[in-house]
Structures are given as structure tokens and as C-alpha cells.
A and B are shown apart, each in its own frame.
Chain A
Amino acid sequence: MFGIVSDLSRWAVPIVLLLVPLLAMLRGVNVYEKFVEGAEAGFGTAIKTIPFLVAMLVAISIFRASGALDMMTAVLAPVLSLVGFPAEVLPHAIMRPLSGGASLGIATDIIKTYGPDSFIGRLVSTMQGSSDTTFYVLTLYFGSVGISRYRYSIISGLCADFTTLIASVYIAHKLFGPA
């Protein structure tokens, strides 16, 4: 199973790059011209995201550096450990939707400290692998088309993250047993 999937991952892009120009050519498309025509919009799309990303990442960066995260952890940890949620992974859980780089850093640190095959290490690996950086994705995707009113997107994104978190803790307890 893993072999097939990783082969598929390795081959996916090269196959697309082989088939797409070939099939376009067979359809009578001027492939080079068409490629350039599409690629033209790339610069504008990327640049358009700058103000949105700056706004979001500055706020996240200040929030992180201020020590507010540590305060949140200190308050929440005793409550959560009552329901079998290990306090060690709480900083990761809070950081995951906000910053991909920071949460990966925290996960790496936890794996280094507790060992990758410990209960905590396996749990944080599952948490890191199963969710995405919700705030970054929303900011980037909406920003690229100039949308600043996200309606209920953040709520549904965070609900999904929360569900993923609970599911990670549940399945880790079930399969890997508590430490």
C-alpha cells in the first residue's frame, strides 16, 4: 500500500508533464504559446496575496512571541489532562492551525525529547500529519482573489481541526496505549 502510494506520488507530476503537452498538441493547440498565455497571470496572483499574508502573519507572529501561547497552555493543561489529553502536546495543538513552520518545530522538538516511538511522539506525529495550517490556507486562497470577508469559513475550518485533534488523541490511545 505505502509502496504504491509513494510510487504514485513520485510519478504523478512527471506523468502530467508528459501527457498534458502531448494531448494538447494532438488537439492542435499551439502549446508553447498557450503555456505562456496561462503563465502570464502567475506573477500577479502571487503578488496579490502579499497584503493578506502580511496582515495575518504579523498578528500570529506577535501573538506567538508575546508569550500568550505559554499562558494559554498553563491555564488549559490541567483541565485537559483530566480527560486524557497529554499537556505536552497542547502547544502543538494550539499552534497547528496558526503556523505550519512553528507547529512542525514544536512537533520535532517533542519527538526529539520523548522519542518518536513513545506515546507522546506517536500522538504528535498523528496530529501533525492529519491537519493543515487553516489560517494560512484561508488567508492565501482568499487573498489571491481579493476576498476579505470569509463568512463562516474560519469556524468550519477550526471545527474540523478540533475534530481531527480529538480523533488523533482517541486513535492514539486506542492503538498505541497511554504512556
Chain B
Amino acid sequence: MVNYIWMAMMVIGVLVAAINGHVEVVTKAALEGAQVAVKTSLDLIAIITFWLGIMKLAEAAGLVQALARLVQPITRFLFPSVPKDHPAMGAIVMNLSANILGLGNAATPMGLIAMQELQKLNRGNSKEATDAMCTFLALNTSCITLIPTTIIGIRLIYGSADPTEIVGTTIFATTMGMTAAICMDRLLRYLYYRRR
């Protein structure tokens, strides 16, 4: 799937640029894209290093496991393939909580830690996503944010009479999306195994 999407974006991009008579933008765009990517990764070094340290402490203090146990009823339904009390659960919960609170800086490292823990449970091909990873990312990309701070800030700048009035509609839309994500994940997993 990702192969086709990737190829389609490259091929369509180059062809459309050529048809529009400005094929030279392709070279520039490719370089810019690569630079943004490397800069993003480098920026991540600092926050990931910091949060990995804190998470290690939280694990040693037994906090991650305690958190995992606390939300067990929900996570056992969502992630049947992950053993209960596994550190992956703690990291997943911390990632989703940080997302909900709008703490993007803390959410990403927690999410990457969760992925590492889930990868340790990967018994199949180490280059292929597991069921639990697919579920986690379906949740993560559609996760509820209680207060979308960035867009509220922009509404404020452009003189909105009530910048936060979109909070309710946002929560409604994102809840719908999250429900769809969980259902689609289950459905596609079922179809995936049936086809094999």
C-alpha cells in the first residue's frame, strides 16, 4: 500500500510539473523535503532523549506498570495481543494522555517508546507492522485533543469573538474519527487474516 502511494505521489508530481511547464520545481521541492525531514529528526533528538530518561525512571519506580494495570479493562479489549502489565501498555497510555492534553512535545517520545516496546513483542517479520502497532497508530492518528491550542491561537490572532467556540465541534468530529479508526482497524485486521 505505502509503495503505491509513495510511487503515485512521485510520478504524478513529476508529470504534473512537466505538463504545467515548470519541471524545475521538482528538484527544488525534493531537496526541501529532504531538508525538512532531517531537521525534524534532529529536532527530535533532544525531546526523545529527555523523555526516554524520564520514562526509564518511571519504569524503575513501577509507575508505568501501575498505569498499565489501571487502564487494563480498556487496553485488554483494544490490544489483546499485548500481555497485561507489559511496559508497552504504560507507554501507550502515556502517549494517548499527552495527546489528549495537547502536549505534542511529550506525546511523540512516549509514542516512539510504545513502538519500541511493541517491536519487542513482534514475533514475525521485524520489518512488518504487528496487529497491536496498527491499532495503536489508528488510535494515535485519530486521538482526541481536548483543547486544540494552535488553531485557537490563530483564531485569536485574527480577531475571533470567541476563539474557543470550535472546541465542542472539534471533540465531536475527532470522536467520530476515533470510533471509525477502531472499527476500521478491527475490520481490516479480520480481512487481512482471512485473505491469507
Contact = CB atoms under 8 A, between A and B. Distances in A.
Contacts of A179: none
Given A46-B44, A53-B37, A152-B1, A161 B154 contact: no
Interface string B96-128: 011001110010100110011011000001111
Given A60-B33, A67-B17, A147 B53 contact: no
Contacts of B42: 46
Describe B's contact surface by its main secondary structure: helix
A58 interface: yes
A53 to B, nearest CB: 4
Nearest to A138: B137
A38 B53 contact: yes
Contacts of A19: 63
Contacts of B185: 152, 156
A170 to B, nearest CB: 8
Contacts of B116: 41, 45, 144-145
B143 interface: yes
A27 B102 CA distance: 31
B101 A116 contact: no
A81 interface: no
Interface in B1-41: 1-2, 5-6, 9-10, 12-17, 20, 22, 25-26, 28-30, 32-34, 36-38, 40-41
Interface string B154-181: 1100111111111111111110111111
A164 B179 CA distance: 10
Contacts of A164: 142, 173-174, 176-177, 180
B28 A65 contact: yes
B181 to A, nearest CB: 4
B72 to A, nearest CB: 20
Contacts of A29: 57, 60-61
B127 A64 contact: no
Contact of A60 (B9, B125, B137): B9
Nearest to B38: A50
Contact of A116 (B36, B54, B133, B159): B159
A19 B64 CA distance: 12
Given A9-B103, A132-B143, A149-B125, A167 B173 contact: yes
A17 B55 CA distance: 10
A6 B147 contact: yes
Contacts of B62: 23, 27
A157 B49 CA distance: 28
Contacts of B115: 141-142, 144-145
Contact of B134 (A39, A56, A145, A156): A156
B158 to A, nearest CB: 5
Which 7 A-B pairs give the minimum distances between C-beta atoms? Answer: A38-B56, A42-B49, A61-B33, A129-B148, A164-B177, A39-B53, A116-B160
Interface of B: 1-2, 5-6, 9-10, 12-17, 20, 22, 25-26, 28-30, 32-34, 36-38, 40-42, 44-45, 48-50, 52-63, 97-98, 101-103, 106, 108, 111-112, 115-116, 118-119, 125-129, 133-134, 137-138, 140-143, 145-152, 154-155, 158-174, 176-181, 184-185, 188-189, 191-192
6 contacts: A12-B97, A47-B41, A128-B150, A129-B145, A130-B169, A167-B172
